[in-house]
Amino acid sequence: MVKVVKIIVDSKCTGCETCVNNCPASVYEMKDGKSVPVRVEDCILCRTCESQCPEGAIQVIEVEIEPPEVNPKKVAVTKRKTKKKTSPKPAKSKKKSSH
């Protein structure tokens, strides 16, 4: 099971910015005079937004979902091409000719 956060801000939101100002994870931003959860993946489930919203317009829901099954036959295995390691060639020394 994988836990996912879902945040619902319903129509009772008056745009007071309480959730924006109190969220320790900066999940909310104001858009068109309403609070919008724009970084739900950053939510730490403290539920401060729920408890501080004077209108009771926010619901934080933790949902458990089944991860999709991976069919091993459909997973493509790719090999990374590696360069053959060769020992470095010694540098040619340039001797000055004496005239």
Look at residue 3 in the predicted model and tell me its pLDDT: 83
Cα–Cα distance between 19 and 58 in angstroms, integer? 9
Residues for the chain: how many in total? Answer: 99
Q: Whole-model pTM?
A: 0.63
- Give the burial class of 30: count Cβ atoms within 10 A of its Cβ; 0-12 exposed, 13-18 middle, 19 or more buried: middle
Fold adopted by 2-65: Alpha-Beta Plaits (3.30.70)
pLDDT (tens, 9 = 90+) of the chain, 99 residues, equals 788 899 999 999 999 999 999 999 999 999 999 999 999 999 999 999 999 999 999 999 998 888 878 777 766 666 666 666 666 666 665 666 555
Look at residue 36 in the predicted model and tell me its pLDDT: 97
